[in-house]
Amino acid sequence: MHNVCTFEACESVRKAAESKGDEGMLHVLISVNNDLIAAEAKYHKTCFASYISKSNLKHKSFKEVEGEASYDTAFKEMAAEISEGIYQGKAYDMSSLLSKYRELLEDKGIKAESYSKQHLKLRLQKHFGEEIVFHQHPDRSKPKVIYSRNISLQDVLNASAAQNARSVSSVSFNATQQIVNTARRVKEEIRKFSGITLRPLNVDDVSLESSRRIIPPSLYWLVRLMITSDESGVDDFDHPCPCVKIEDERRIISISQDIIHCASKARVKLPKQIALAMAVHHLTGSKQLVCLLNRMGHSSSYDEL
């Protein structure tokens, strides 16, 4: 066994591997950064000579003897399609290009399962020459990317940063506008509701079911989807069915009535506010406590009792 001790030997192995499309050897070379000397690689003299032999390379080199015209035609179709994108600054990954090229070959009746990325890379290099660059991601499991040589790494990073900034700004604007539109819609629906009558007060008007009926559907669903994960019945938006858990339903209806009470500046009389004020006053006889709850938006005023 002999140690690889010259850069000429490293280069000969690399060129032979590329000519043969030897993916295994190319992977090994990439893993050691093409430096077989530092990796202390060893070889048999006869095997090394055979591997880099010009006669063997000529026999195994990248050629598609049968149906070569079909290979050329398929490649020209793909090259024409990606050329404009490359010159405009677009990048393509080798996996996508290989899949596309194989599809074009299959359309021409050529079995292309064994066609390798290395073969395609050589064709691309031959066609575009120095106009393109092949970039290997630090994560070797990810495919190489090709792009125009006129595009610098700084251009790519700056373009990416600008795009991310635009995306964040757009998302932020859309989210803000969506919140504003939702608030306007709910407020408009609240204006259409008149609530219940106080004099005379109908006991049936302060039930849970009656309370649900006077809440605008948009407000009900907004509160419900914010405080629970219960989306059952959302398809029938205008006629919501109660939550599975009754305690969740009570909270939704209670919060919704507080919102209506505040948004209408107490103009709309609601079951919760009226019933709570009457119950607290009946149990405690405290005017101060009723006034306190009223100031917090939870009950009607003492004067309305």
Per-residue pLDDT of the chain (305 residues; tens, 9 = 90+): 878 888 788 788 877 777 766 767 777 777 777 788 877 888 788 887 877 776 555 444 444 444 578 888 999 999 999 998 888 888 899 999 999 999 998 888 888 888 888 889 988 998 998 889 888 878 878 888 888 888 776 676 677 677 777 666 666 678 888 888 889 999 998 888 788 887 788 888 888 888 888 898 999 999 999 999 888 888 888 888 888 899 999 999 999 999 999 898 888 888 888 889 889 999 999 999 999 998 888 888 888 87
CATH 1.10.10 residue ranges of the chain are 68-151
CA distance 250 to 243: 9
Nearest to 280 by CA among 266, 264, 298: 298
Q: Return the bridge partners of 146, or none.
A: 92, 134
CA distance 258 to 270: 9
CATH 1.10.10 fits 68-151, yes or no: yes
pTM for the predicted model, two decimal places: 0.43
Tokens at 60, concatenated? 């195994």
Length of the chain: 305
Cα angle: 109, vertex 115, 121; to 5 degrees? 125
